[in-house]
Amino acid sequence: MRLWRRASAVVLLVIGAMAASVSFAQAMPQLLIDMRTNEVLYENEAGVPWHPASLTKLMTALIAFEAIETGQASLATPVITSANALSVPPSKMGFPVGTAITMEDALYFLIIKSANDIAIAIGETIAGSEPAFIEMMNARARMMGLTGTHFVNPHGLHDPAQVTTARDMAMIALTIRARFPQYDAIFSTRTVETGQTRMHTNNELLTSFEGTDGMKTGYICASGLNVVATALRGGRHLMAVTFGANSSRERGEMTAQMLFSGFAGGYRGTGRNVLDIVNQTGLLPVDMRANICGANAEQYRAERAEAFSAGLEGQISYLNDTIVPPTHRATILGRLADVPLPRPRPAMPGSPSVAANDNEEVATTGFGDSSIISLQPSGQSGSSLAQPFL
């Protein structure tokens, strides 16, 4: 009984801190989902337009996985750095033009290093050109019903027209995890090595929140710090999304707080699944630049520290575990500029062609098969895993 009361008090503390954090003037989009039932356990502003930053790379990875699945590419396919890829701002690998790596290593660089040049190189390898790959990204988004999402590039560097929602990004992540579990290790790996260089993910939860098994972070001034994180504890698999944090501390602690409360039973659930969240279309995406990188940044950081203090000295923290995630060692194949790029794929059945009508800023912190994830409609109960459908 004493232990139950203590656990209940902790859960109430978590919920109270959550309420305080989202009552701030600019409430940050957040979303917590039970990955086995797709039920939304907690949601705040998950349909508000937002800049995805490097979470964009989740869609880039999804299309690459589908290309491998359909035989257009393989994990051994050479991905070659082009002049176009090399021209993109950091974060990037910066390999000389003509340098080749395998698709497998490219995917590790994409997710762990969040390399923008590799995102373009993967797109060019699969679709023949960056514009053609962007068409594929937007066609896939339409097919998945991502009504709040539009892509202008495959990496997430800032463009005013590159937009998503927490709801849509969760859909992409859920689809990846349901359809392609063979690639889970890419998202749970902390470090990628090449030569004497070691590069680490910015996902704070992978090393400090027990059970975390992915997925991706993102940052540009206009978005603040974003994350999609998944964790497994006690047979429950949860996914948390946080957009717009002002620091890695806030992003990590807020996301870990959601997961902690979810595992502790602090959320009764909403009775809805992610498909029931309505995207607020027709609005401009929130622009956090002034508060994150601009004139208001110092005042905003102080206000956020007062509104959400978890992780600060002397305050509660939800990132208390010590975990050593795996490392992946990549190999540079060398200069293979004479290896031809694969031919672009034909348009997907029933999918109209998209005109390339979209035509940046450095992040300073760090088809084939048309199946999409099947999400259980509202009003139906059950605990079966979400299954993809054709």
Please give the structure tokens belonging to residue 118: 């590799």
Catalytic residue among 82, 91, 114, 309: 114
**What is the Cα–Cα distance from 187 to 66, expressed in whole angstroms?**
17
Instruction: Mention every residue, 6+ apart, whose C-beta is less than 8 A from residue 147.
Output: 168, 279, 281
Please give the structure tokens belonging to residue 113: 């290093």
Catalytic residue among 21, 57, 82, 309: 57
Catalytic residue among 54, 91, 248, 261: 54
- Assess whether 92 carries a catalytic annotation: no
- 314 sits in which H/E element: none
Grouping H, G, I as helix, E, B as strand and the rest as coil, residue 261 is helix
113 in a known ligand binding site = no
Residue closest to 274 by CA, chosen among 46, 83, 49: 46
Beta strands in the chain, from DSSP E residues, in sequence order: 30-34, 39-44, 78-80, 99-102, 191-194, 197-200, 212-220, 224-233, 236-245, 327-329, 334-335, 372-373, 388-389
Quickly list H helices, 270-339. 289-292, 297-307
- Assess whether 57 carries a catalytic annotation: yes
Query: Helices 56-69 and 116-127 sit at what angle, rounded to 10 degrees?
Result: 30
Q: Which residue has the tokens 């349909």?
A: 47
Residues, the chain: 390
**What is the Cα–Cα distance from 77 to 115, expressed in whole angstroms?**
18
296 burial level (CB within 10 Å; 0-12, 13-18, 19+): middle
363, 219 in Cβ contact below 8 A? yes
For the annotated binding site for substrate, the residues are 216
Residues annotated as binding site? 216
Among all residues, which ones are annotated catalytic? 54, 57, 114
